[in-house]
Structure 1
Amino acid sequence: MIDTGKAFCVANKQFMNGIRDLAQYSSNDAVVETSLTKFSDSLQEMINFHTVIRFMEVLLFSFFRDLRKFKDAKKQFEKVSEEKENALVKNAQVQRNKQHEVEEATNILTATRKCFRHIALDYVLQINVLQSKRRSEILKSMLSFMYAHLAFFHQGYDLFSELGPYMKDLGAQLDRLVVDAAKEKREMEQKHSTIQQKDFSSDDSKLEYNVDAANGIVMEGYLFKRASNAFKTWNRRWFSIQNNQLVYQKKFKDNPTVVVEDLRLCTVKHCEDIERRFCFEVVSPTKSCMLQADSEKLRQAWIKAVQTSIATAYREKGDESEKLDKKSSPSTGSLDSGNESKDKLLKGESALQRVQCIPGNASCCDCGLADPRWASINLGITLCIECSGIHRSLGVHFSKVRSLTLDTWEPELLKLMCELGNDVINRVYEAKVEKMGVKKPQPGQRQEKEAYIKAKYVERKFVDKYAISSSPPEQEKRMVSKSCEEKRLSISKLGPGDPVRAPPQSSVKSNDSGIQQSSDDGRESLPSTVSANSLYEPEAERQDSSVFLDSKHLNPGLQLYRASYEKNLPKMAEALAHGADVNWANSEENKATPLIQAVLGGSLVTCEFLLQNGANVNQRDVQGRGPLHHATVLGHTGQVCLFLKRGANQHATDEEGKDPLTIAVEAANADIVTLLRLARMNEEMRESEGLYGQPGDETYQDIFRDFSQMASNNPEKLNRFQQDSQKF
């Protein structure tokens, strides 16, 4: 342990020295250098504190070193005892008439006895001393060792308490740095996207020239130049037109070589009388330069750039006003069309536009600052950058923060954000703000924001715990009862061996008032009274009488359970705000969970909401069926795709020994069989290649991305199986 402690301290010192070296290499960045230096000094203090523990470890083992000495004394005592026995035997064997041998044996026995008594006394002394020290020394050393640990952790706590405010401020700076870095990345991606759209077969990226460029470079690019030597060799060089001159460089850092000193004194023309293609010649009074472009378009662009530069050089010397007129006119000779504005729109910008159209989302949910660019995906709200940093400090179990402009948004997650919004969430989490006389913080009030956000989402002080939504109106009850009866009749017609399939997509869904209306997200509107297992139970065992109980008497878990089936996200958010367990199991309905209810309700967005709020994708009911089982049985392809992306275990079997793939094969659902087999194959590939925690093959990701897009935007394409099954 002592040796390992020494190695630990040495490794810590090496790490600390590496941090200091990194700080020196970052001397041009004041924030990085200062932060790393401060952290390395703190680590050095912790190493110094740890040396005290190492010293106490040495003291702790001093008793065991005494024990090792005692073992050596014991071995010596046993050796002398054996010598004494041998002397006694030899003395007894000496014959009486051999006086000389008698005296010798007597002397040896006497000496051996003296030595034995001396060593025996020392041995007994060590035993007594060791016995007396055994309790006191061990406990004393161990107590000192524990006190050393106590001092170590106290010193560390004090050290990091002093470092805490600095770390907190640095975290706020990091948020800004992340935004700046992401903005720069987005700009580079825009440029990259623009370049990708060009036709590289003719090298169009080199076709742009600008006589009014700020750096003076009208056009630049690679050209072949014919040497003036006897061999007339061709060399590829980097040419540029700048400051009324034509120059080239052999390498990037080389000083440019001037080909034409004054473009006003030269002319440019095509060359068709040589074997090489795409050649043109720049002729000056003193020399001629033969050049070759990579394509005909590039040759035309270079010739036009030289001609335009010649004309511009004359105008600059003749009339400055004409130059100003030239600057006011378009000076870009790119062959690309200017209709790329739509192509430059990134996914993040599209997400911003869609989410900010939701009521209340045009301003920050917590402080009211306009044009928020961040969002909490599990709460479904938009935030300003300062509030997003505070939300991030709460932990992902309270709020998961994502950028609306810098991150790529999955379609189901984007639809989830559009289903909720600041107004809906604030009606739940700020229900008692006015009654309590609490004022919302204003932009810029960092400390007030932190206290308010913590009270709002962590402590939930402003949630009206007694204002749970009332029961559905009578009209909805009648609609639900009728739908439930139709559902029972359709299920009763199934044979014992027939797979249970979800009904065709209904044309209704719940609106704010609880009445059902049309939907476009691929959700199947089943009656809200069908329980999690009613699709698989005999008709006589279903209980519908308890469905219409006033929800004021429901516990939050049951409210979440029923709202998940009803596809009512505001009620689900309300139930979670009242402390509902997202993995609550209904013991009266085979321990089905809200996520299983969401599957039976047919809503992809509802499933995504529960998963973002910590729902266990592998929690199963009494029959051993998890959400993936139920989605497979019902033929909900979009949900199967979602659960596989969220880590569902496709190898789990139900009480009949069937895994989801077996169920899908028996039901002849080609889409779900394809998804399950692809996921299994991708899993096996990652395990064989040791890529644990990696997303997997690009083809696999592309296929799942396509299914996600269809499930969210074109759900009718995934209803082929259900429509075909109805034909038969």
Structure 2
Amino acid sequence: MKMMVDFEECLKDSPRFRAALEEVEGDVAELELKLDKLVKLCIVMIDTGKAFCVANKQFMNGIRDLAQYSSNDAVVETSLTKFSDSLQEMINFHTILFDQTQRSIKAQLQNFVKEDLRKFKDAKKQFEKVSEEKENALVKNAQVQRNKQHEVEEATNILTATRKCFRHIALDYVLQINVLQSKRRSEILKSMLSFMYAHLAFFHQGYDLFSELGPYMKDLGAQLDQLVVDAAKEKREMEQKHSTIQQKAALQDFSSDDSKLEYNVDAANGIVMEGYLFKRASNAFKTWNRKKPDHIRRWFSIQNNQLVYQKKFKDNPTVVVEDLRLCTVKHCEDIERRFCFEVVSPTKSCMLQADSEKLRQAWIKAVQTSIATAYREKGDEAEKLDKKSSPSTGSLDSGNESKDKLLKGESALQRVQCIPGNASCCDCGLADPRWASINLGITLCIECSGIHRSLGVHFSKVRSLTLDTWEPELLKLMCELGNDVINRVYEAKVEKMGIKKPQPGQRQEKEAYIKAKYVEKKFVDKYSTSSSPPEQEKRIVSRSCEEKRLSISKLGPGDQMKASPQSSEGERQDSSVFLDSKHLNPGLQLYRASYEKNLPKMAEALAHDADVNWANSEENKATPLIQAVLGGSLVTCEFLLQNGANVNQRDVQGRGPLHHATVLGHTGQVCLFLKRGANQHATDEEGKDPLSIAVEAANADIVTLLRLARMNEEMRESEGLYGQPGDETYQDIFRDFSQMASNNPEKLNRFQQDSQKF
């Protein structure tokens, strides 16, 4: 309520005026107390808010540290980084809010108290002083005697001057009071309104920030649901494996530690044998440290024709014997300890102790075998090369070489991103995509990958470039296609239609665009095709392929393999017998491109709704996958399989892709089909299964693969491990063949090379 003082009453100096002054002065004093209290509370609030921002920033830095720690997990790292950035924005908004609060409440109200109330107090002091002077002048004027004319005039003049001064100062005081009473409303309301607008801006900024973050959080929530399912599945698998290992361990005799008795001269990692041994000190005392046995127990290994040991895994190996050719090994029965043996070189000897007699014998035999191997390897390099190229050992040696290349080569992310267009997301253009669609052969950002995953695996199979393991044929498939190739097909009409690709962060626009692109295929440049090609075209295509098929089928299995195309990946067969693909229906286009090993044309045919399992009635109902086998391309087969090709679909002769790959001696394709679930028990019209064909052709590699697959299948059935991949030996051998088929296919042609020599 605004309290004003009347100027007229001021001139009269009436009791009403004095009462109004007293009321106003009391009100102003109380106002000053309230404002001082509010300013102090504001200061406390601002200080507390700043402390909150400091604590919040420390918490946010903790999240960033956790994100950096999780650099090997792209999903966790990306999510935590994004959340910490959002929290940093909120801290900035809080800081702005407290700064505006300081300006609107603390500074503005403090200025009102210090300036306007100070002027009021100064005016009050002057008024009180002149009021007292006026009272004194009135008293003096009343006390002067009538007969003293001089004193009467002096008192009258003083009273007149004092009254004049009083009226002037009283009017100024009343003006100051009324101005203060009027101004305090605007000052208080202005500061509070500014404070409330600061809150409005703060909450609006926060709402906008989390509105943009909302779709990402929703997508992450969907991924978390899948992660929970995967974690539960992984837990069940680990529990099953734990139970299996526990049962196996219960049957072992740990006193002899038989699990360490195996050694392998041709081990993939170069380690012939490894395990813990006690080592006697090599100083002058030649003692065993009984107080601290861990000081003499070391992890020994025989590798690269050397005997080395380590105390910890990260330690650099300590070489005991530089060259095994220069040393001997012998039993030690003349010392008090059991199970000891000695490795002696020209410069020193090393006394070692195993945990059991069986282990001692195994170590001695391993050292002796390694010594003999070192002599052979160093003495006759030609023999070593022959050994690598022989049918019995060539596969494993080549597998070792492939593993070395895999360990030392580029990562999947680096290799795939080197393909044109793959350095940015195929759908929105965001840089450094970390996800891929393996059946489309494109790279995606994390947000687009989530949308692709929601389409279903029949449209897009999503895999992480950093978190998942990549088989060599699948990695090579990614390198054969790429974003530029696929976008030329699936975005052919984008510019003509005036469609703009969605930008990063536009979740709803992305969903609509990706669905239109891959599901509805609105941007594919559709061309008119008849249900079947003209009869002349069909005859040209059919006659050429059928002549080739008949010429191969008339030969024996070995001759068939000689006649089969064995070109390396990337080479293209002569396709002059084929006509323009735009005159073919999509199924026939896919059929033709599969033989030609032309992946872009295959992708184009699939974009035009080609049936991946289309059967050519003019050629014994052969499928595109069978044509890919005839073309000799491993990557083409993998592309068809990833897009839903039936690995067991057979032609009229009862032969499926595995039959044809076996007949033609395509070892890499046989390995691929077995991994993808091909039925090797199926027989053709002559009653032959793939194994009998491979045995008849005397192809050692394919026979080995088929027999291993059959043994692994029987073992899993007997142990009830349905759906499990099999034992480690089986997986390692198939991994070696996959590496060779993708990286060194020429090494799988040695059977044909050896046959040609004769």
- Distance verdict in 2 for CA 1:87–1:285, change over 3 Å: farther
Once the two structures are superposed, what CA deviation does each residue of 1:159-208 show, in whole Å capped at 9, x if it has no partner? 99999999954535639989999999999999999999999999999999
- In the TM superposition, what is the alpha-carbon distance from 1:69 to its structure 2 partner? 104
Once the two structures are superposed, what CA deviation does each residue of 1:123-151 show, in whole Å capped at 9, x if it has no partner? 99999999999999999999999999999
Once the two structures are superposed, what CA deviation does each residue of 1:215-251 show, in whole Å capped at 9, x if it has no partner? 9999999999999999999999999999999999999
Q: Which has the larger share of helix? A: 2
Point out which structure has higher relative CO (alpha carbons under 8 A, 6+ apart): 2
Report the secondary structure of 1:442's partner residue: coil
Once the two structures are superposed, what CA deviation does each residue of 1:96-127 show, in whole Å capped at 9, x if it has no partner? 99999999999999999999999999999999
- In the TM superposition, what is the alpha-carbon distance from 1:452 to its structure 2 partner? 0.6
Report the secondary structure of 1:680's partner residue: helix
Does residue 219 in structure 1 map to residue 263 in structure 2? no
Partners in 2 of 1:597 and 1:171 — Cα distance?
43
- In the TM superposition, what is the alpha-carbon distance from 1:665 to its structure 2 partner? 0.8
Once the two structures are superposed, what CA deviation does each residue of 1:612-658 show, in whole Å capped at 9, x if it has no partner? 00000000011100000000011100000000000000000011111
- Distance verdict in 2 for CA 1:142–1:699, change over 3 Å: farther
- In the TM superposition, what is the alpha-carbon distance from 1:664 to its structure 2 partner? 0.7
Report the secondary structure of 1:234's partner residue: coil
Contact map agreement 2:441 2:483 (CA 8 A) in 1: yes
Contact map agreement 1:429 1:460 (CA 8 A) in 2: yes
- In the TM superposition, what is the alpha-carbon distance from 1:727 to its structure 2 partner? 3.4
Partners in 2 of 1:156 and 1:378 — Cα distance?
40
Query: Structure 1 stretch 572-581 or stretch 117-126: which is displaced more?
Result: 117-126
Partners in 2 of 1:466 and 1:201 — Cα distance?
75
Query: Structure 1 stretch 629-638 or stretch 307-316: which is displaced more?
Result: 307-316
Once the two structures are superposed, what CA deviation does each residue of 1:426-478 show, in whole Å capped at 9, x if it has no partner? 00000000111110000111111111111100111100111899999999999
- In the TM superposition, what is the alpha-carbon distance from 1:550 to its structure 2 partner? 3.5
- Distance verdict in 2 for CA 1:191–1:212, change over 3 Å: farther
Once the two structures are superposed, what CA deviation does each residue of 1:325-344 show, in whole Å capped at 9, x if it has no partner? 99999999999999999999
Query: Structure 1 stretch 171-180 or stretch 13-22: which is displaced more?
Result: 13-22
Partners in 1 of 2:302 and 2:311 — Cα distance?
15
Report the counterpart of residue 365 of structure 1 in structure 2.
426
- In the TM superposition, what is the alpha-carbon distance from 1:554 to its structure 2 partner? 1.1
- In the TM superposition, what is the alpha-carbon distance from 1:17 to its structure 2 partner? 37
Query: Structure 1 stretch 48-57 or stretch 397-406: which is displaced more?
Result: 48-57
Once the two structures are superposed, what CA deviation does each residue of 1:586-616 show, in whole Å capped at 9, x if it has no partner? 1111111000000000000000000000000
Contact map agreement 1:582 1:615 (CA 8 A) in 2: yes
Contact map agreement 1:60 1:145 (CA 8 A) in 2: no
**Matched ranges for 1:426-465 at <5 A:** 426-465=487-526
Partners in 1 of 2:542 and 2:621 — Cα distance?
24
Identity %: 96
Contact map agreement 1:211 1:331 (CA 8 A) in 2: no
- In the TM superposition, what is the alpha-carbon distance from 1:484 to its structure 2 partner? 8.1
Once the two structures are superposed, what CA deviation does each residue of 1:359-381 show, in whole Å capped at 9, x if it has no partner? 00010000001111111000000
Query: Structure 1 stretch 492-501 or stretch 98-107: which is displaced more?
Result: 98-107
Partners in 2 of 1:93 and 1:360 — Cα distance?
110
Query: Structure 1 stretch 85-94 or stretch 419-428: which is displaced more?
Result: 85-94
- Distance verdict in 2 for CA 1:70–1:665, change over 3 Å: farther
- In the TM superposition, what is the alpha-carbon distance from 1:384 to its structure 2 partner? 0.6
Report the counterpart of residue 510 of structure 1 in structure 2.
none
Partners in 1 of 2:569 and 2:387 — Cα distance?
84
Partners in 1 of 2:755 and 2:150 — Cα distance?
120
Partners in 2 of 1:661 and 1:71 — Cα distance?
111
Once the two structures are superposed, what CA deviation does each residue of 1:77-96 show, in whole Å capped at 9, x if it has no partner? 99999999999999999999
Contact map agreement 1:209 1:334 (CA 8 A) in 2: no
- Distance verdict in 2 for CA 1:451–1:662, change over 3 Å: same
Once the two structures are superposed, what CA deviation does each residue of 1:273-299 show, in whole Å capped at 9, x if it has no partner? 999999999999999999999999999
TM-score, L = length of structure 2: 0.47
- Distance verdict in 2 for CA 1:329–1:639, change over 3 Å: closer
Does residue 92 in structure 1 map to residue 136 in structure 2? no
**Matched ranges for 1:191-230 at <5 A:** none
Contact map agreement 1:217 1:243 (CA 8 A) in 2: yes
Contact map agreement 1:212 1:327 (CA 8 A) in 2: no
- Distance verdict in 2 for CA 1:312–1:347, change over 3 Å: closer
Partners in 1 of 2:273 and 2:569 — Cα distance?
80
- Distance verdict in 2 for CA 1:388–1:347, change over 3 Å: farther
TM-score, L = length of structure 1: 0.49
Query: Structure 1 stretch 491-500 or stretch 391-400: which is displaced more?
Result: 491-500
Does residue 690 in structure 1 map to residue 720 in structure 2? yes
**Matched ranges for 1:27-46 at <5 A:** none
Query: Structure 1 stretch 479-488 or stretch 192-201: which is displaced more?
Result: 192-201
- Distance verdict in 2 for CA 1:411–1:60, change over 3 Å: farther
Report the counterpart of residue 388 of structure 2 in structure 1.
327
Contact map agreement 1:471 1:551 (CA 8 A) in 2: no
Report the secondary structure of 1:621's partner residue: coil
Contact map agreement 2:453 2:460 (CA 8 A) in 1: yes
Contact map agreement 2:398 2:740 (CA 8 A) in 1: no
Contact map agreement 1:348 1:405 (CA 8 A) in 2: no
- Distance verdict in 2 for CA 1:165–1:276, change over 3 Å: same
- Distance verdict in 2 for CA 1:437–1:665, change over 3 Å: same
Query: Structure 1 stretch 420-429 or stretch 49-58: which is displaced more?
Result: 49-58
- Distance verdict in 2 for CA 1:75–1:538, change over 3 Å: farther
Once the two structures are superposed, what CA deviation does each residue of 1:33-75 show, in whole Å capped at 9, x if it has no partner? 9999999999999999999999999999999999999999999
- Distance verdict in 2 for CA 1:208–1:162, change over 3 Å: same
- Distance verdict in 2 for CA 1:151–1:287, change over 3 Å: closer
Partners in 2 of 1:431 and 1:587 — Cα distance?
32
Contact map agreement 2:490 2:518 (CA 8 A) in 1: yes
Query: Structure 1 stretch 494-503 or stretch 558-567: which is displaced more?
Result: 494-503
Contact map agreement 2:330 2:342 (CA 8 A) in 1: yes
Query: Structure 1 stretch 439-448 or stretch 485-494: which is displaced more?
Result: 485-494
- Distance verdict in 2 for CA 1:121–1:273, change over 3 Å: farther
Partners in 2 of 1:311 and 1:674 — Cα distance?
28
Report the secondary structure of 1:344's partner residue: helix
- In the TM superposition, what is the alpha-carbon distance from 1:723 to its structure 2 partner? 2.0
Contact map agreement 2:398 2:747 (CA 8 A) in 1: no
Query: Structure 1 stretch 154-163 or stretch 144-153: which is displaced more?
Result: 144-153
- Distance verdict in 2 for CA 1:232–1:417, change over 3 Å: closer
- Distance verdict in 2 for CA 1:599–1:87, change over 3 Å: farther
- Distance verdict in 2 for CA 1:397–1:351, change over 3 Å: same
Contact map agreement 1:382 1:422 (CA 8 A) in 2: yes
- In the TM superposition, what is the alpha-carbon distance from 1:548 to its structure 2 partner? 3.5
Once the two structures are superposed, what CA deviation does each residue of 1:458-509 show, in whole Å capped at 9, x if it has no partner? 11110011189999999999999999899689759836997565436xxxxx
- Distance verdict in 2 for CA 1:372–1:705, change over 3 Å: same
Contact map agreement 2:572 2:596 (CA 8 A) in 1: no
Partners in 2 of 1:386 and 1:362 — Cα distance?
16
- Distance verdict in 2 for CA 1:8–1:95, change over 3 Å: farther
Contact map agreement 1:351 1:404 (CA 8 A) in 2: yes
Query: Structure 1 stretch 253-262 or stretch 437-446: which is displaced more?
Result: 253-262
Contact map agreement 2:271 2:304 (CA 8 A) in 1: yes
**Matched ranges for 1:120-519 at <5 A:** 168-169=218-219, 171-172=221-222, 174=224, 350-466=411-527, 491=552, 494=555, 501-503=562-564
Gapped regions of structure 1 (runs ≥ 5): 505-536
CA RMSD in angstroms comes to 22.0
Query: Structure 1 stretch 202-211 or stretch 25-34: which is displaced more?
Result: 202-211
